[in-house]
Amino acid sequence: MGRSPCCEKAHTNRGAWTKEEDQLLIAYIKAHGEGCWRSLPKAAGLLRCGKSCRLRWINYLRPDLKRGNFTEEEDELIIKFHGLLGNKWSVIAGQLPGRTDNEIKNYWNTHIKRKLVGRGIDPQTHLPVHGGGGATPGKASKPPPSAASPSETERCPDLNLDLSMSLSFSSPTPSEVFAAADPAADATSSPTSAVPPRRAHAICLPLEEGQHTH
DNA sequence: AAATCCAGCAACCGCAGTTGC
DNA sequence: TGCAACTGCGGTTGCTGGATT
């Protein structure tokens, strides 16, 4: 009740995006910047709901997306961050420049889970699975360990649990790289707290050409 | 060569949190 | 202060292409 649906389903396109729709969305965002998703479709001449536009932009059209195979290093980072944060895909994505939460989530479900199982590690708990292993009480067992779990160090001894961290990397952390690459992304996405700010409020600023590295 | 199965990815759905009025 | 609007997140679904039988 109370809340209106995010869009008029009867008057919006659904399913795969066409090239024309992509072009409209890109052109609009280049001209007006991200944000104001609710009004964007109408303004851009798209028959999509704002959510759909946002998703398409973030997961597919953003110019700073890497796309392509994950490297071994990225694999390991994802595993470590997942051990620390659980299914906080957006936070994990924040540590991997050019990767999106959806992409990482998919990659986790399709590749990494299997990889961990192959190593004899339970992907949810990050605990070794011993033969009959009680480590997997089923998916009903709730969220993966949050950072506060006392046994964390046992499970991931090489992890730096000081979440003020961004980990013990000596080289610039991905987030630093991110911040350097995109000053606008700065503090709002601080991964330094286990529970990052929910959002950086939408700012309708025009993107500057060349702001993103290709 | 055709049919079936499976894996991967893109997109949707519903909910929770935040903000502004 | 409470409520409604809006955004963002995580889980899930469905489609597509490749591999296998």
pLDDT in tens, chain A (214 residues): 333 445 555 567 888 898 888 888 888 888 888 878 888 888 888 888 888 998 889 888 888 888 778 888 888 888 888 888 888 888 888 888 888 888 898 888 888 888 888 888 888 888 887 654 433 333 333 334 333 343 444 444 444 444 444 443 333 444 443 344 343 333 333 333 333 333 334 444 443 333 443 3
Which two three-digit tokens encode residue A196? 């990052």
- Residue located via tokens 């051990």: A83
Give the distance, in angstroms, between residue A35 CA and nucleotide B15 C1'.
Answer: 21
Give the CATH fold of the A69-200 domain: Arc Repressor Mutant, subunit A (1.10.10)
Distance of CA A77 to the CA centre of its chain: 13
Task: Sort A132 into a burial class: Cβ within 10 Å, 0-12 / 13-18 / 19+.
Answer: exposed
A141-178 exposure pattern, b = at least 16 Cβ within 10 A, e = fewer: eeebbebebeebeebbeebebebeebbeeeeebbbeeb
Could you please report the per-residue DSSP string of A120-159? Answer: TB-TTT--B--TT-TT---TTS-SPPPTT-TTHHHH-TT-
Query: For residues A99 and A104, what is the distance between their CA atoms, to the nearest angstrom?
Result: 7
Looking at residue A117, its pLDDT comes to 81
Strand C nucleotides within 7 Å of a protein CB: 3-12, 15-16
C-alpha Rg value of chain A to the nearest Å: 20
Domains A9-61 and A69-200 share a fold: yes
**Domain chopping of chain A, boundaries:** 9-61, 69-200
The answer to whether A91 CB is within 7 Å of strand C is yes
Give the CATH fold of the A9-61 domain: Arc Repressor Mutant, subunit A (1.10.10)
